[in-house]
Amino acid sequence: MKVKITTATEDECDQARTIILQHVLYTKTISTECIKECITSHAFLMLYKGKDESNSALWPVTVWPQWKDIEAVVNSEDDEEISHGEMIKLYRYILKPRVESDENQNNVLGTIIKVHAKQAISKKYEFIQLDAGIEEDVQERFKKIMFNYANKCTYERSGDVYIHLLLRGKLNSRVNALIPSGNQPYDAISNEYKNSANDLVRPYIETPPSRKILDVKWEQSIDVDGFHFIVGLLREIIDGLACIVHVNSHICHCVCEPKVPHFVLFSMDFDIGIGVAYGFVYEDQMYLPPKSATPLLDFFILYISKCFASGLQDVKDIHSALFSPNSLSASSAFNVLLE
């Protein structure tokens, strides 16, 4: 969409802002530079035809904010409280002719994306807590499959994807917002954690799956490391199912495939009222772990059930292994995993 800014109406500017923002939030393959350019264009359109709380025009800008004027807003962990006036300061900051540092500008760009992503996710999804009531033998079969596979897992299929997604959840959400889906987060981890980055990353890389499975806290609903680890095993076990974890602002990407259940994670400072939490999205609903004695365990079984109910044939074998193991074909790999 092309907008001639000098003659554009307020409605045309509003439509252009919406299209640009949707491109940033919902495009998986967008580059970091494109993200920055889009948000900068969005900011200009917000100011050019915009009004402040007193109904005064926001353009031309007479006062450009300094970093000290917005630092508290950017570093706030409760950005649901960011006001319209504070957002205007953020927009002005990234448009000012001279910015103090690239790092500060990136932090502001990431904060803007984060705020809009939280609003989009909150409006899009109905939040539902899963019901438990899973039979004990089904739970035991799932654990047996996971333990047996962990003892031989080499991540031959997905490589470092498990580590990449896990580390995304260790980043401040404004930093993660500027890392395109599929890109490695190692540089960002190094920048954020400095000298302690190696201490953070090394155990995840060096500890074998056979040891990690022993640390999974099936009875805790917020064992984020355990959540990532089990998702990583499922990614290796289930042919044809990507099992990607969409972290924070990237949860918006789920709208691209509404008919497929997607894992999601709310971590660090990306709080929309439920705190640190994981779940899965299907169509317009966000499913959260059940209130049960073993929420992490039950969550994954219910995820597989939802995938099966949605018609995904890729989970047919593991669903049979859990709920009707006698129906497995003789050639199924799950026969061995159930021994």
Percent of the residues in the chain that have a pLDDT greater than 90, as a whole number:
80
If pLDDT is split at 50, 70 and 90, which confidence band does 116 have? very high
- Domain ranges, ordered by start, for the chain: 10-122, 126-337
pLDDT of residue 99: 62
Contact 261, 307 (CB under 8 A): yes
Determine the straight-line distance between the first and last CA of the chain, rounded to whole angstroms: 59
Inform me whether the pLDDT recorded for 200 exceeds 70: yes
pLDDT of residue 160: 92
Average pLDDT, the chain: 93
User: Looking up tokens 């079984």, which residue turns up?
Assistant: 301
Name which of 62-66, 100-104, 190-194 the model is least confident about: 100-104
pLDDT tens for each residue of 246-287: 999 999 999 999 999 999 999 988 999 999 999 999 999 999
pLDDT tens for each residue of 53-101: 888 889 889 889 999 999 999 988 765 578 889 999 999 999 988 766 7
For residue 39, CA distances in Å to 17, 19, 170, 245, 254 come to: 9, 11, 24, 24, 21
Q: Measured between alpha carbons, how far is 257 from 252 in angstroms, rounded to an integer?
A: 11
Name which of 94-103, 107-116, 202-211, 219-228 the model is least confident about: 94-103
For residue 289, CA distances in Å to 114, 191, 214, 315 come to: 24, 33, 21, 20
Inform me whether the pLDDT recorded for 16 exceeds 70: yes
pLDDT of residue 209: 97
What is the DSSP annotation of 58-73? Answer: --S-S-PPPHHHHHHH
For residue 182, CA distances in Å to 31, 76, 171 come to: 10, 27, 15
